Amino acid sequence: MKDIDLDIIQIILSIAIIVGIIMGTVKCVEDHDKKAWNNGYCECGGHFEYEQAVGHQYGTSYVYTCDSCGKHIEIWEER
């Protein structure tokens, strides 16, 4: 009986660790997108202009281009 309880605890802990890793990864992507967007201003001082949206199975990515230097950024949005 104790072996079964120990197995259940190991499974629950494994699931919790996996969920934590996934949530941490999602948070890192969100933070990177916010930093790259910078309220629509590029590092060179130009403004990002909407270029296109690309639909994916689990979300949409939006591509913006700087009107001064031509830098491209891609912002991810989950569904």
Cα–Cα distance, 17 to 11 (Å, whole number): 10
Q: How far is CA 61 from CA 2, 51, 74, in A?
A: 49, 11, 6
pLDDT in tens, 29-56: 778 778 888 888 998 999 999 999 988 8
Q: Which amino acid is at 10?
A: Q
CA neighbor of 40 nearest in space, from 6, 12, 16, 75: 75
- What pTM does this model have? 0.63
Q: Cβ neighbours of residue 59 under 8 Å, at least 6 residues apart?
A: 76, 77, 78, 79
What local confidence, expressed as pLDDT, does residue 16 receive?
A: 95
